[in-house]
Chain A
Amino acid sequence: MSLTVETKIANIERITNYVNEQLDNMKCSRRAKTQIDIALDELFSNICNYAYGDRIGHATIRVQEIPETNSVSITLEDGGIPFDPLAHDDPDISLGIHERAIGGLGIFMVKKTMNAVKYEYRDGLNILTVVKSL
Chain B
Amino acid sequence: MNVTLNRDGNALFVTISGRVNTATAPELEATLVPALDGVVDLTIDMAEVLYISSAGLRVILTAQKIMARQGTLTVRNLRPEVYEVFDMTGFAEFINIE
Chain A residues whose C-beta falls within 8 Å of the C-beta of B90 in the assembled complex? 93-95
Q: Do A41 and B55 have beta carbons less than 8 Å apart? A: yes
A35 to B88, CA, bound (A): 12
Please tell me which one of the listed residues B50, B68, B88, B89 contacts residue A97 in the complex, with CB atoms under 8 A apart.
B68
Interface size, B (range): 20 to 34
Interface residues of B in 61-98 (CB under 8 A from A): 61, 64-65, 68, 80-82, 84-85, 88-90, 93-94
Check A12/B22 contact, CB under 8 A, given A34-B82, A102-B57: yes
Given B50, B55, B57, B68, which contacts A45 in the complex, CB threshold below 8 Å? B55
Q: Does A118 contact B (CB under 8 A)?
A: no
**Pick from A9, A30, A31, A97: contact of B23, CB under 8 Å:** A9
Residues of B within 8 A of A96 (CB): 93-94
Contacts of A10 in B (CB 8 A): 23
In the bound complex, do residue A106 and residue B53 qualify as a contact, i.e. CB atoms below 8 Å apart?
yes
- Would you mind naming 21 contact pairs between A and B with Cβ atoms under 8 Å apart? A12-B23, A16-B19, A34-B50, A34-B81, A37-B21, A38-B51, A38-B52, A38-B53, A41-B21, A41-B51, A41-B55, A42-B53, A94-B90, A96-B94, A97-B65, A97-B68, A98-B65, A100-B94, A102-B54, A102-B61, A113-B88
Interface residues of B (CB under 8 A from A): 19, 21-23, 50-55, 57-58, 61, 64-65, 68, 80-82, 84-85, 88-90, 93-94
User: Which residues of A are in contact with B by a Cβ distance under 8 Å?
Assistant: 9-10, 12-13, 16, 30-31, 34-35, 37-38, 41-42, 44-45, 48, 93-98, 100, 102, 105-106, 108-109, 112-113
